[in-house]
Amino acid sequence: MAQMMGSLTAALYGLLVVYLGGWFLGFWTGNFSLLLFMLTVATMLYWLAERFHFRPEREAAAVALQQRDAERRRQLAAAGIEKVDGDVDEAVAKLRAQPWWLDWTAGLFPVIAIVFLLRSFLFEPFKIPSGSMVPTLLVGDLILVNKFHYGVRLPVINKKILDNNPVQRGDVMVFRYPVDPRLDYIKRVVGLPGDEVAYLNQKLTINGEPVPTVALGEHYDDDSLSYSPMFSEKLGDVEHRIRVDPRRSAWYGPDPKRFPLAENCRYSPEGMVCKVPPGHYFLMGDNRDNSQDSRFWGFVPDENIVGKAFFVWMNFGNLGRIGAFH
């Protein structure tokens, strides 16, 4: 039994190495949430087996050996032999020792379970991979996302089971990319269900009302090595900075649009106008003219929400980036 479990564990670790290696080398897109869930379940099964089967079995074998040794010594003492060679302490210790395949599975379960619970229901770390949220978030920012701000969702399937705060305009949201839900994106919420969002001639209006902006001068982007006008914008109660590139034209890909509910949007040389359908949200990057967002691939359904981003916990190239943002 022990030999079979050792071989099975080695095979499982081999599969894990292949999966992670293929993910790292780009042969396939990994799903960390699913992987963490499977590791939690697998190590829990090993932990339960250790707790209720293997450890009692090893303990019973160790106790039986001690009892046999005590009986042997008693019999020898009755025969007048007081000095007895042989010490079973080392053998007992070996019987009680946890084999490697339990040490590397059941022994890891508490740590993996804590990480799984924290990441699934409380806070999840993300890394900013692109400049679509400049100047609010920079490439390389390591951020935290509040997973329970909008409600409690079951891990992996992302189904909401408890409501919390409603989504607000101006929230910086992490969500599953509608085109490929295996990927996580981050943008700012601009339109709520029922809103009419227009971005015409690089001006944002919601329900016919221009969104207030204040010019802040020029912003230098380290990635593009260029200057562009920067503005302070107020969406609802949230005031934040945006970057606008007057050199960019309002082109949002070929027509007709093929994303779900594309009939809710109208496109023109000046920009676009979209009516946000029920249960969906319209999101844009703060780097307004250098962001692939709802203007290109459509609305974000409620079931794709991951959480609200709120804190930069590290940027190895710029420690001054650490802190809250909105």
228 touches 244 (CB < 8 A): yes
Question: In the prediction, which pLDDT does 29 show?
Answer: 85
Looking at the structure, tell me whether residues 159 and 88 fall in a common domain: no
183 and 201 inside one domain: yes
Residues 110 and 132 in one domain: no
Residue 210's domain comprises 125-324
Position 98 scores a pLDDT of 92
> What does the pLDDT read at residue 84?
67
Can you tell me the distance from the alpha carbon of 295 to that of 273, in angstroms, rounded to the nearest whole number? 9
Give pLDDT, residue 35. 93
Tokens 């079931």 -> residue: 303
Pair 99, 129 in one domain: no
- Domain identity same for 273 and 237: yes
Nearest to 299 by CA among 256, 264, 249, 269: 264
Angstrom distance (rounded) from CA 11 to CA 210: 60
pLDDT tens for 76-117 read: 788 877 776 767 888 889 989 999 999 999 999 999 999 999
C-alpha span between 235 and 251 (Å, rounded): 24
Note the pLDDT of residue 88. Answer: 82
Instruction: Examine the fold and report which residue of 116, 135, 151 is the final residue of a domain before the chain moves on.
Output: 116
Same domain, 145 and 88: no
Distances (CA, A) of 62 to 3, 75, 94, 107: 19, 20, 9, 21
Kindly state whether residues 288 and 257 are assigned to the same domain: yes
Considering only CA atoms, which of 326, 318, 324 is closest in space to residue 139?
318
Residues 6+ away with beta carbon under 8 Å from 242: 135, 213, 230, 231, 232, 233, 286, 287, 288
Q: Are residues 88 and 220 both part of a single domain?
A: no
Domain stop point among 64, 91, 116: 116
pLDDT beneath 50, residues of the chain: none
The pLDDT score that the predictor gives to residue 77 is 80
Q: Which residues are catalytic?
A: 132, 187
Number of domains the chain is built from: 2
103 and 144 share a domain?
A: no
**Helix count and strand count (H, E) for the chain:** 7, 18
